[in-house]
């Protein structure tokens, strides 16, 4: 049997680079597509083909899709912060481009496309009220979440019209090595950087807001160990299933660093969610897979990698 091939779009990013490593470990041949503004973060070996190109270059991306069995779409041209400041960017740079990518997948006879969606952003206020399942109606309150949901709907359209198979993984808040340490790229790495530099942490609200945080290797292993299955559904919440407050994250970071954080509290904007409760039972019940790394252990591994 010939080796199956995967294309990872956004392969040198936080999630994408970990997917490349996880897919290689499982024996897949991987085309790692990215602009490569810095050296590859994943492990380079004979089962990885580095494909340098721009996400918006039709010719290069079309060539990369040729002969590929599976496509993992991890790239986003915006962050939640950027989208909130300029919704038009999310429409033009993500939603429109995603539709074009799905078209190319159909043209290239890709077997299945895996789309990295967002758990908290897609559900919006609904996740404040209850532990949301995939059967609950999404209520995104941010342009980022609206864009992710729109892309999911377009995948369903392409499935119905062209038979393009897909899975949308609504990943919660992944964290771990290789994550960019900026405010717009995740609370844990942003706080880690500021505490280590002795800078103040800007906390939205009173710090009691909660999210589902999942260690990156747990998240990608859940995806890699499930995507090739004949699944019951096309959309899966992918997280730890555990709620953690911002205050608890600060305490865990302080304990691991041995440093007391300087805190400042800010008024929460209208789009801010006090909770983002995500139910992962559909995924764990069907695949018998789940997160294994505790927050404390995940932060310890992150600190080890960051050499702080």
Q: Supply the residues annotated as catalytic.
A: 144
Phi, psi for 84 (deg, rounded to 5): -70, -35
Please name the residues in contact with 99: beta carbons below 8 A apart, sequence gap of 6 or more. 151, 154
| Planar angle of CA 98, 168, 32, nearest 5 degrees | 60
Q: Which phi-psi region, left, alpha or beta, contains residue 222 (left: φ > 0; alpha: ψ -120 to 50)?
A: alpha
Half-sphere exposure of 217 toward its Cβ, with a 13 Å CA cutoff? 14
Instruction: Give the C-alpha separation, 6 to 69, whole Å.
Output: 6
Task: Tell me the C-alpha distance between 245 and 236, whole Å.
Answer: 23
Round to whole Å and give the CA distance between 48 and 243: 36
């Amino acid at each position: 049997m010939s080796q199956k091939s995967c294309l990872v779009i956004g392969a040198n990013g936080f999630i994408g680079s970990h997917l490349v490593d996880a897919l290689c470990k499982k024996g897949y041949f991987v085309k790692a597509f990215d602009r490569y503004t810095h050296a590859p973060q994943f492990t380079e070996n004979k089962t990885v083909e580095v494909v340098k190109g721009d996400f918006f270059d039709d010719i290069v991306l079309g060539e990369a899709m040729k002969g590929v069995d599976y496509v993992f779409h991890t790239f986003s041209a915006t962050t939640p912060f950027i989208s909130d400041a300029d919704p038009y960017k999310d429409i033009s740079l993500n939603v429109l481009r995603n539709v074009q990518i799905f078209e190319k997948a159909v043209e290239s006879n890709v077997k299945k496309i895996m789309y990295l969606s967002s758990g908290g952003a897609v559900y919006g206020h609904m996740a404040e009220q209850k532990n949301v399942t995939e059967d609950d109606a999404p209520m995104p309150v941010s342009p980022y979440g609206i864009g992710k949901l729109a892309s999911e709907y377009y995948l369903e359209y392409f499935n119905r019209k062209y038979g393009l198979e897909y899975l949308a993984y609504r990943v919660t808040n992944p964290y771990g090595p290789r994550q960019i340490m900026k405010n717009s790229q995740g609370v844990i790495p942003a706080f880690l950087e500021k505490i280590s530099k002795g800078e103040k942490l800007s906390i939205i609200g009173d710090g009691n807001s909660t999210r589902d945080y999942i260690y990156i290797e747990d998240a990608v292993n859940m995806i890699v160990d499930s995507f090739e299955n004949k699944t019951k559904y096309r959309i899966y919440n992918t997280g730890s299933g555990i709620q953690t407050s911002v205050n608890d994250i600060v305490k865990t970071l302080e304990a691991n660093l041995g440093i007391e954080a300087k805190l400042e509290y800010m008024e929460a904007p209208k789009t801010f969610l006090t909770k983002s409760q995500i139910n992962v039972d559909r995924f764990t019940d069907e695949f018998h897979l789940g997160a294994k790394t505790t927050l404390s252990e995940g932060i310890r591994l992150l600190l080890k990698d960051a050499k702080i």
